[in-house]
Amino acid sequence: MRILLVGASGTIGQLVTHRLLARNHEIITGGRFSGDIHVDLTSKESIENLFKKAGAVDAIISTAGAAEFAPVHSLTPEINQTAVLSKLLGQINLALVGQHYLYENGSITLITGIMKDDPIPGGASAAMANGGVAAFVKSAAIDLKNGQRINCVSPNILEESMEDYGESFIGFTPVSGKEVANAFLKSVEGKQTGQEYKVY
């Protein structure tokens, strides 16, 4: 398959890339500062340019989306806007624009996260974006045409990320990057749609 992966330079993006390459898929990488094609998820025009350059694909994957972490008592609309424009609307716009560059029976896979189900201090903004993406995926699945599918993956904290983020996830049992990458593979090569694959 010819697959467009946005966020390929991140920890999860790299793991998913390696898993897909092992299955002999062709990967086109996209990112804000790296990748085959640069893209800013907060800009609809940048997303449109991404697909004009990439062309038609069999699958679209996002492992991208920024969010600020702050306790609600100091969370402002401006701080919250990062998650709204990037992880929430950025991924949704990737799907909305991308559907028109997706082959028949192609798939879209977005990313959410455990914080919407198992909150952490300062994680309300990220949790909001995660919940919105999951709700969009569930509803969008019944509207897509030409056999197109859409799912999302909701990972726990990764074993590979504990050194950097473990203090924010005290008491959480981390999951392996391999498990998370397999969830993306399941979405791409499987037949299900409207699912949120929770890797907790």
Per-residue pLDDT tens over the stretch 77-103: 999 999 999 999 999 999 999 999 999
CB 51 within 8 A of CB 39: no
How far is the C-alpha of 129 from the C-alpha of 170, rounded, in Å? Answer: 22
pLDDT of the residue at 2: 98
Q: What is the mean pLDDT of residues 166-174?
A: 97
Tokens of 140: 């969008």
Q: How confident is the model at residue 109 (pLDDT cuts 50, 70, 90)?
A: very high
* Domain hosting residue 10, numbered range: 2-199
CB 82 within 8 A of CB 128: no
pLDDT of the residue at 85: 98
Q: What is the mean pLDDT of residues 123-130?
A: 98
Which of 107, 126, 99, 106 minimizes the C-alpha distance to 115? 126
Q: How confident is the model at residue 181 (pLDDT cuts 50, 70, 90)?
A: very high
Q: What is the mean pLDDT of residues 128-136?
A: 98
Q: Which H, E and C letters describe the chain, residue by residue?
A: CEEEEECCCCHHHHHHHHHHHCCCCEEEEEECCCCCEECCCCCHHHHHHHHHHHCCEEEEEECCCCCCCCCHHHCCHHHHHHHHHHHHHHHHHHHHHHHHHEEEEEEEEEECCHHHCCCCCCCHHHHHHHHHHHHHHHHHCCCCCCCCEEEEEEECCEHHHHHHHHHHHCCCCCECHHHHHHHHHHHHHCCCCCCEEEEC
Tokens of 42: 């907060």
Q: What is the mean pLDDT of residues 100-129?
A: 98
Bridge partners, residue 61, by sequence: 5, 109
pLDDT of the residue at 192: 98
pLDDT of the residue at 103: 98
pLDDT of the residue at 8: 97
Question: Considering its fold, how many domains does the chain have in total?
Answer: 1
Q: Indicate the length of the chain as a whole number.
A: 200
The amino acid at 29: T
How far is the C-alpha of 122 from the C-alpha of 47, rounded, in Å? Answer: 29
Distance linking the first and last C-alpha atoms of the chain: 28
Calculate what percentage of the chain has a pLDDT beyond 70: 100
Q: Give the domain CATH number at 114.
A: 3.40.50.720
